[in-house]
A and B are shown apart, each in its own frame.
Chain A
Amino acid sequence: MTDRANIFDAEIAKARCNAYRRRILDMSQKVSALHIGGAFSCTEIVDLIYNELMRPSLDGGRSPDTFLMSKGHGCMIQYMILVEKGILSQADLDGYCTPHGRLGVHPDYGNPGIEASTGSLGHGLSMVVGMALAERGRNTGGRIYTVLSDGEIQEGSTWEAILMASSLKLSNIIAFCDNNDFQSLGRTSITHPSFYPLTDKFAAFGWETVQCDGHSSAELYETVRNRRGDRPLMVVAKTIKGKGVSYMENVPLWHYRSPNKDEYKQAIAELGAQI
């Protein structure tokens, strides 16, 4: 088991994320059922987890680390990465949301690379705690990575898990809160202004907590690399819903809408210009 020390390249990460976003837009022209906004807000985070943080196994098998997508509606970015890694196939992607396919709008346990069924918010973090306990019990050194949405942290069940993770001193949990400040009906900071700043709340519950730019792969990477590691880590990642496409950014409509042909062309052109 080795860390991927000192091989991080921010420019390569940026190119990867740009390509993932374009592939997600391509998907949106085949099927309309997908959450683009929430996938684009956590693109850098999920990319970093899979491509930089999770350690490869020495024998070519499974990583000793686990990724659980707690904000299941963001899974399109996960699917793109799993296809790139050959864990899911292009045929799987072609069958997305079709009667004979196996991939739906939310991740299903049992599909390759999917560690838990999520989609209903507030379930992921407790499962992460259970997984982290199992890894500790077996002394495997396995780390559990997860991405929560900022709407999801309004669930009381998330806070039960927050409490348990710190009480059990599960230092092998590394969580990211995709703080795009949007939920279905508007800004999370307007729904619950007293919830902010978020970092105080996680810190009060005994987590190591750091806030950073969730679209800066380098910042995210350094945040995790520099963690103290004696307790669970919550990275409050400040993100933009629909990041990368001007007309999608911070517009709630794009939570669950696909672009038409002209919008698609514009989005691809904008992303192309960012490379």
Chain B
Amino acid sequence: MRNTFSEALYEAATRNPDIYIVVSDISPAGSMGKFSTQYPERFINVGVAEQSMIGICAGLALKGCQPFAYTIATFSLYRPFEMVRDDLGYQNLPVTVVGMGAGVIYSTLGGTHHTMEDIAIAGAIPNMQIIAPCDPAECTEATKWCAAQKNGPVYLRIGKAGEPDLTKGAEPWKFGKLRYLRRGTDVCILTYGCITKMAAQVADRLQAQGKSVSLVSVHTMKPLDREGIADALKRHKHVIVIEEHVPQGGLAPQTKQLAWDVQATCRLDTFTLKDEFIHCYGSWEDLLEAHGISVPIILAKVS
């Protein structure tokens, strides 16, 4: 996703001289080299100084520019939290805060680099919008949208590299609307972000068991497509939420709340990270398994 993000941003920046990227000692790969060479005035590296990264973006936006802040998700959102809240949320400025490598993708780097509660934290800020694309193509769509929107701040939660394409042939991406990657009638899997890869594997296995399965990318986590989720709860006998986020404040509790509100009668299972810091230093999959999320664990519980 880093590469597609930087390609989409570069493309947008060639057309719009107001697009800036302010990075904190981490730069997206791919086309960001072209960006920084061609537009050095619009590529700002603050170094290890995330509070100023957000404040500088706010200042640029106050003058009508369209800035992006970019670094590893923990440092783009947690470290400068009050700047994100006051400078971006309170002033309602069209700044995109890119959280790269969100979730437990930095699996061997330990809890300091795990972004497990970002949806809850960003989502609690009034005016904040949240997008978490599930694959590189969705990341491109989201980046293009962020580069053009003037609604207010966006937290763009992206992965790192090597995510598979999951949205080929899917319906068009639209901000604020969940997206069916496949449509079925029995089971519906609601998910977002990088873990959609695992959700797709679960869907494959359930289909192999003879079930008709929907797989849905809830890429816009705020504002949440409540109508779309309510419809999914109504039209399926069994809804499964899979998310790479702590149990509080993410998709799982919001879906449960909505299920109550609309008096849903379907079965509802949720799989989230644990409310724990886990000292495991394996692969991304190892970390997720330690948190209680893997294809076999999910299948054992939902079959």
Which A residues form the contact surface with B (CB < 8 A)? 109-110, 115-117, 120, 122-123, 125-137, 156-157, 160-161, 163-164, 168
Contact = CB atoms under 8 A, between A and B. Distances in A.
Interface in B55-74: 55-65, 67
A127 B62 contact: yes
Interface majority SS (helix, strand, loop, mixed), chain A: helix
Contact of A127 (B46, B59, B65, B82): B59
Sorted nearest first, the 10 A-B pairs with minimum C-beta distance are: A130-B59, A126-B55, A134-B63, A160-B52, A127-B59, A160-B49, A157-B51, A130-B56, A130-B60, A131-B59
B4 to A, nearest CB: 26
A267 to B, nearest CB: 33
Contacts of B54: 126
B93 to A, nearest CB: 9
Contacts of A110: 91
B261 interface: no
Contact of B41 (A117, A136, A157, A161): A136
B60 A116 contact: no
Contacts of A164: 46, 49, 52, 56
Contact of B60 (A122, A131, A157): A131
Contact of A134 (B51, B59, B86): B59
Given A127-B58, A134-B65, A120 B82 contact: yes
Given A127-B58, A135-B63, 5 more contacts: A109-B62, A127-B87, A130-B59, A130-B60, A160-B52
Contacts of A127: 55-56, 58-59, 62, 87
B64 A123 contact: no
13 contacts: A109-B90, A120-B82, A126-B51, A126-B54, A126-B83, A127-B62, A127-B87, A130-B58, A130-B61, A131-B60, A133-B60, A135-B63, A163-B49
A69 B213 CA distance: 56
Contacts of A120: 82, 86
B59 A133 contact: yes
A168 B65 CA distance: 18
B44 A123 contact: no
A168 B44 contact: yes
A131 to B, nearest CB: 4
Contacts of A128: 59
A129 B53 CA distance: 10
B235 interface: no
Contacts of B205: none
B152 to A, nearest CB: 12
Contacts, number: 98
A54 B265 CA distance: 65
Given A109-B91, A117-B90, A129 B59 contact: yes
Contacts of B90: 109, 117
A157 B47 CA distance: 13
B42 interface: yes
Interface majority SS (helix, strand, loop, mixed), chain B: helix
Contacts of B55: 123, 125-127, 129-130, 157, 161
Contacts of B49: 160, 163-164
Given A115-B62, A123-B83, A133-B59, A160 B51 contact: yes
Nearest to A125: B55
Nearest to B39: A137
Nearest to A140: B63
B83 to A, nearest CB: 6
Contacts of A157: 51-52, 55, 83
B64 A117 contact: no
Nearest to A155: B51
Nearest to A118: B86
A126 B52 contact: yes
A133 B61 CA distance: 11
Contacts of B20: 133, 137
Interface string B177-191: 000000000000000
Contacts of B64: 134
A137 B62 contact: no
Nearest to A134: B63
A125 B63 CA distance: 15
A160 B60 CA distance: 16
B51 A130 contact: no
A27 B59 CA distance: 31
B62 A160 contact: no
B58 A137 contact: no
Interface centre among B17, B58, B90, B91 (most CB of A within 10 A): B58
A126 B56 CA distance: 5
Contacts of A137: 17, 20, 41-42, 65
A126 B64 CA distance: 16
A168 B41 CA distance: 9
A132 B60 CA distance: 8
